[in-house]
Structure 1
Amino acid sequence: METGKEKCERLKAIRKQIAEQYGLEYVPTECTHKGECTGTCSKCDAELRDLQEQLNRKGIMDIDLNVKIPIQGSGDDTTENADIHILQGEVAAPELPLDGMPAPPFIPRRKIHVLYKECHIAGTTFHNLENVWDELYEGAELALVREKGNLHDRNAVAVALADDYNGDPEDFDFDYILGYVPRTENEPIAMMLDMGWTETFGCELSRIEGENPRTGKLYMKIYIVSKDEVEVTNHLLRAMELDDEEFADFTISLLNQGCTYFRWGGFPPWKRNLPKKKDKVVFIYRHGNEVDLYLLYCIAVGDDDAAYFVEEKELLHAVDDCCFYVFTNVKGPVTVANEQLDFLNGEPVESGQPETYLSESASGRLYELFGIEKPQFDGR
């Protein structure tokens, strides 16, 4: 889950995108908050109000929703925050022949949801929920609806079941709402909705307390949603074979440092699909009729991130096309017979560096050998 400061940076990126698209003046204030924050503050709200006032002066009431919102992560070189463009004069990746090559694994695509906040739904006792209370369930999709005509709260944001909302707040019957975003939480959300960023937010029912609306309470999670879909690979593994020398270095590093690292890369870069941070790789060492398996988790990619872990400091930032990848052990060694890995025949089990995901079936079989339940698709 993102920290408050990472959420703050994400919202600043949205504000910067608005300013650049519509020629607004915007100078982000430096965050001086000590320790953890909630992701928004009075300074953030003031920046948003200033942009809204500039838009109003220009007569801009709705923002083009086709404008791409950059998704900024914590510096990981991942699909989520990498946006590759072929610029004029650059050489595009050639089309490669696929005859005789194994079919690539199916990789689903999802929009990324980043938790913005979790809070209760205010005012549920005033909205006659007796008829729907028993039908509510955790995970139900909700909609945030801006109620500009609310006489009691100029920042009112209503909460409705997504199936009850047609997408047009001007043509919505507010008798069919569950309640509201709490008054103490709603101003930044109201401002964003007023500026046209309705697709920026996702919402779901996260908790139901009590057996009826008179004594019970509803809670919701509000997410910031990426505009574009990205590949979801958390359920897929990679695999790499180790020779005797590699295995000796591998085990010594795990024993002495609790992690191990490799320098991987190569040219041309479009042929490389190396692990990303949080990817998992199965390292395979064959000896006689048995095989040792290690399931490792990638904790750092790139020389800057890896600097803390790498002992050979002179190799950092070497002038070549490689960089460090650091892994820590999740489980292993698990020793199995050679024939138990027959399902890997035809799978992209590589030596040198693992550039391809295994199929979903092979990934699942390896998780079984480790005694670990395979993760489900995760778009959040």
Structure 2
Amino acid sequence: MTADRQPVLGILGGGQLARMLALAAAPLGVKTLVVDGVADACAGQVAPLLVADWTDYAALEAFASKVDVVTFDFENVPAETAHWLAERVAVFPAPQALAVAQDRLAEKTMFRDCGLQTAAFMAVDTREMLDQALATIGTPAILKTRRLGYDGKGQFRLHSIADADAAWASLGAAAARHGLILEAFVPFQRELSVIAVRGRNGDFNTWPLTRNWHTDGVLSMSLAPAPDIDQLQGRATELARTLAERLGYVGVFALELFVKDGELLGNEMAPRVHNSGHWTIEGAHTSQFENHVRAVLGMPLGNGEARGVSAMFNWIGDLPDPAPVLRTVDAHWHDYGKQARPGRKVGHATLCAPTSAALADRLADVATTLDRLPQAQPALDALTR
């Protein structure tokens, strides 16, 4: 990077996260260049897009020559590609951090090494190992692929040992490629996430804990700051800092947590900006997207404090009518520019307010008008409890 030109941030992956990173980068005077394997990647609507496969090293060589720093839109970019690029240009977060987060077994092991408790887990590579793991962990349990799973994909819930054959039929083929992991089911009371950022100089910050609700393994709604969990913010921040320093992490990441009997249990780490942090665009002094750009380029980090209280609807499959949101005070609509498709994240909306009571009123009005009251009801209950 030189002072006489704008820095260029390269982004591997061209989905909605890359799109929002590009939008956050522009006001900072940062250009972006996106790489994706498909020509209609939605980030290409707001930033230059290079269409290339992750193993097209000629294209990646040209990409590396045009950017100052490379980062990720999603964690399933092959670690080999990240390592190859890191020999030619700065890559943040570092490829080794990406590799740990791509492997659920390595991830859970690291959590425990850092003092973050998890559900019981065991590696499963064969049908016999599944029986052994079930005998040790018991049921209910969840069999998961160690790699390439997200949004509830690559998982099978076992309610009893009688489900073992069906679980293996569903996921056994993946065991030969990447291995599986069996995890005890956690009867949690709440799902939380802490979004954190670490700069190139080691500076560290978090946003307020966010409470999340999922439908079929996909985030449905988030509420921030999460109510009635003040006693957990410090512990979550401490754990996130420990993980970041262990990995030498640079950039934004999300630590997904369960709350069980007042204690935090680690679920997953996402080495990137995260769906549950979308509320920060309008609801915090500095968004997760802006702070990620700042972090990987070595700029000072911004303040992550909340401006008030925020609730985020995640739109899955297709977009509802935006009018009720657009008519609401301090409400914000985000259309990702994607074609509607079952199970696909196509947009979100964030409602902000100075107090929980005001947010509850706005959320109830919008949810009722959109016929989304069941989606919003858990957040309404949390706001009015």
Q: TM-score when scaled to structure 1? A: 0.24
Larger Cα-atom Rg? 1
Larger RCO (CA under 8 A, 6+ residues apart) = 1
Larger relative helix fraction: 2
